[in-house]
Amino acid sequence: MTIKVVVADDQALVRGSFAAFLRAQPDIEVAAEAADGVAAVAAAAEHRPDVVLMDIRMPEMDGIEATRRISEAFCGEVAVLILTTFDHDEYVYAALRAGASGFLLKDTSPEDLVAAVRVIASGEALLAPTVTKRLIREFTGAQAGTAHLAELTKRENEIMVLVARGLSNNQIADKLYLSATTVKTHVNRLMTKLALTSRAQVVAAAYEAGLVIPARTTD
């Protein structure tokens, strides 16, 4: 299966470099490039890609608003992978809330870029360890999304914790002796109950609710 991608970044060199490397992959097609959020939303509507590689800071419309519009328009069928320098981005959490499926650091290796696109296209979340730790550090303790946790079944709660720990559906299925299809059904149901639109939001909600306790870090 060919993965269709739109690359959105206002820096032509960065955008072109990402696009060129992705085009060199036999299973990836770069359908379009966009220099701002408005163009990214338009490209998503025209090409219906599997993944939009989205910068946060862009003119006309930033990546957060573009992510929100794409998520609302396509109900999660078009996954958004956020490009971030993170040390200088104050809006990563807002992008997560807008429906982003994951985050990719701009200094990532070409190999990790390709791997990230494939992971996001498969329907999984991608939260790099550096990004995850800093998100947790900033936002653990908030109680957003916890009001509906009581609606989850014991199994849904258990699966939510495993998703937050970074396990894929197949890994969760092996751990709980379930089929991957059953796990996917549980994930979809808990997301519906909590009004979440991506696995990345499930991760954030689990930390916010205290279902998963972040490990202490020294960085």
Lowest mean pLDDT across 40-54, 85-99, 124-138? 124-138
Same domain, 113 and 13: yes
pLDDT for 31: 94
pLDDT digits (tens, 9 = 90+) for 164-183: 777 778 888 999 999 988 98
Residues 6+ apart with CB under 8 A from 28: 2, 3, 5, 22, 114, 117
Let me know whether 13 and 95 are in one domain. Answer: yes
Look at residues 83, 99, 127 and tell me which one is the last residue of a structural domain: 127
Residues in a beta bridge with 53: 7, 81
Number of domains in the chain: 2
132 located within any domain: no
Domain carrying residue 10: 3-127
pTM: 0.70
Per-residue model confidence as pLDDT tens digits over 77-119:
888 998 887 666 667 777 777 888 888 888 888 888 888 898 8
Task: Based on the fold, state whether residues 120 and 153 are members of the same structural domain.
Answer: no
Task: Quote the radius of gyration of the chain (alpha carbons, Å).
Answer: 17
- Does any domain span residue 78? yes
**Residues whose CB is less than 8 angstroms from the CB of residue 21 and which lie 6 or more positions away in sequence, other chains included:** 110, 113, 114
Q: The domain spanning residue 152 has which CATH number?
A: 1.10.10.10
User: Is 100 found in the same domain as 7?
Assistant: yes
